[in-house]
Amino acid sequence: MSLDAVLARIDADLPQSLDRLLELLRIPSISTDPAFKADCARAADWLVEDLKALGFEASVRPTPGHPMVVAHGGEGDKHLLFYGHYDVQPVDPLSLWDRDPFDPEVQDTPKGRVIRARGSSDDKGQLMTFLEACRAWKAVHGSLPVKLTIFLEGEEESGSPSLIPFMQANAKELQADIALICDTGLFGDKTPAIVTMLRGLLGEEMTIHAANKDLHSGMYGGAAQNPIRVLTRILGGLHDAKGHVTVPHFYDGVSELPDAIRQQWQSLAFDHASFLGDIGLSVPAGEQDRTPLEMLWSRPTAEINGIWGGYTGDGFKTVLPAEAHAKVSFRLVGEQDPDALRKNFRAWFEAQLPADCTVDWKNHGNSPAGVMAISDPAFEAARVALGQEWGVPAAYVGCGGSIPIAGYFKTYLDMDAMLIGFGRDDDQIHSPNEKYDLECFHKGIRSWARILEKLA
């Protein structure tokens, strides 16, 4: 099948593709707010009708929350599953938006034309790059080059409570050779990327108890135990002087980077001085024997996210508090076991408690890291296709954050995922005035068309 004709069709039909995206962006599908439940259902219905127009067998699938959209189409030896989400973040504070977030507009900016609206980058614009690539293939050749399953979620921005049960109940139907996820971005402004490493996440909340009430520091100070002092002493020892985490067995399951990946990352010439300078910092604070990109993408972390206790209001109150609280999160890599880490961290913490102190624990999150098998030829085929479209070699990169769906595909469907997206760092996802560059939308469609041809 001719790829050139498909790319030409994408170029010619860009205005119509843009109109369809703007229509979807007008639907305020905010999943976390019950007031927008009907709008989430409307977005799912809109996508089903669009998929049917492309020749897919598509349907809305009810869940206890917002519906899923599942569609099947195409033929071929290669079976791909494409995942995206149609729900969006809330728009608050509305006063910081320059226009109605659900009245999308194409705007001229000093950096080029952008699509301005909530969901333009996360994830409706990215989702539609794939559907528009399919549309062009169908228009030119009358069929798709591969067998495709489309799986669209409506609760990604609200914790995906229905996702795992749905995947378990429909595992056979959703099974494919590999999953494609379009919810990531470029490296910098011009380098296409395939995310092959995703850090997992473990969260802990602790409360240290000492006396049975707050105490006068003049009457009890020095004699009574202060839980804030205990908490800060223990957490202050979470890292050594070189930035290494001191919890026993913390690094179990952490592997070294393959040489080929290390060389790719070095070729990206990551400017950590600018990266930190943009936020008013200058010195990398992690493991001192690692490069900044390793710290961000392939190394585990332990961070204190919040700490509180005692009197924090205006003025001064001289008390020894009865309780002290903290929240600590761990980003996990490789084969680190979140359950084992939780056990080891709690044991390490409790072993340092003095007499007269106890601790209560509260769980927050527990997901392992994801490491994709780039030995699958599909990864290199996609990397070549991306490089051909963007004019620079595509890179295998890591992701400092956590994208649970990739791990879920591995855990529940035994299926690796390729995370390929075309967002940029300044898209302001989750923030006021979210945008998606028109260039990214256009080249994203062309990129998926090239990838489909390579994978077929």
Give the CATH number, domain containing residue 57.
3.40.630.10
Report the C-alpha gap between 436 and 22 in whole angstroms.
12
Q: What domain range is 211 assigned to?
A: 200-254+301-367
Last residue of a domain, one of 351, 367, 383: 367
* pLDDT more than 90, % of the chain: 92
Q: Examine the domain organization and report whether 222 and 329 are in the same domain.
A: yes
CATH of residue 340's domain is: 3.30.70.360
Q: Distance between CA 33 and CA 105 in Å, rounded?
A: 24
Same domain, 192 and 132: yes
Can you give the pTM of this predicted structure?
Answer: 0.86
Same domain, 80 and 139: yes
Sheet holding 323-332, edge to edge: 301-309, 323-332, 200-209, 358-367
Domain ends where: 341, 367, 393? 367
Do 53 and 96 have their domain in common? yes
Residue 402, pLDDT score: 73
Total number of domains in the chain: 3
pLDDT in tens, 261-276: 999 999 998 999 999 9
Task: Compute the Cα dihedral for 405, 406, 407, 410 and give only its sign.
Answer: positive
Asked if residues 238 and 401 have their Cβ atoms less than 8 Å apart, the reply is: no
Tell me what pLDDT residue 1 has.
61
Q: Which two tokens stand for residue 171?
A: 């595992």
Q: Are residues 31 and 109 in the same domain?
A: yes
Q: Which tens digit of pLDDT belongs to each residue from 180-215? A: 999 999 998 899 999 998 898 999 999 999 999 999
Confidence of residue 365 (pLDDT cuts 50, 70, 90): confident
Q: How many CB atoms lie within 10 A of CB 78?
A: 16
Integer CA distances (angstroms), 22 to 11, 28, 33, in order: 17, 12, 22
Same domain, yes or no: 289 and 159: no
pLDDT of residue 371: 86
Phi then psi for residue 275, to 5 deg, are: -55, -45
On whether both 26 and 62 belong to a single domain, the answer is: yes
Whether residues 283 and 239 share a domain: the answer is: no
Per-residue pLDDT tens digits for 20-76: 999 999 999 999 999 999 999 999 999 999 999 999 999 999 999 999 999 999 999
Helix (H, G, I), strand (E, B) or coil at 335: coil
Residues 108 and 217 placed together within one structural domain of the fold: no
* Last residue in a domain, options 339, 367, 395: 367
Regarding whether 159 and 102 lie in a shared domain, the answer is yes
Same domain, 156 and 13: yes
What is the mean predicted confidence (pLDDT) over 104-117?
97
Question: Model confidence over 135-152: pLDDT tens digits?
Answer: 999 999 999 999 999 999
**Pair 62, 115 in one domain:** yes
- Say how far apart CA 196 and CA 179 lie, in whole Å: 12
Residues of the chain with pLDDT > 70: what percent? Answer: 100
* Two tokens, residue 289: 């024997």
Residue 350 has what pLDDT? 98
| Region 403-413 average pLDDT | 88
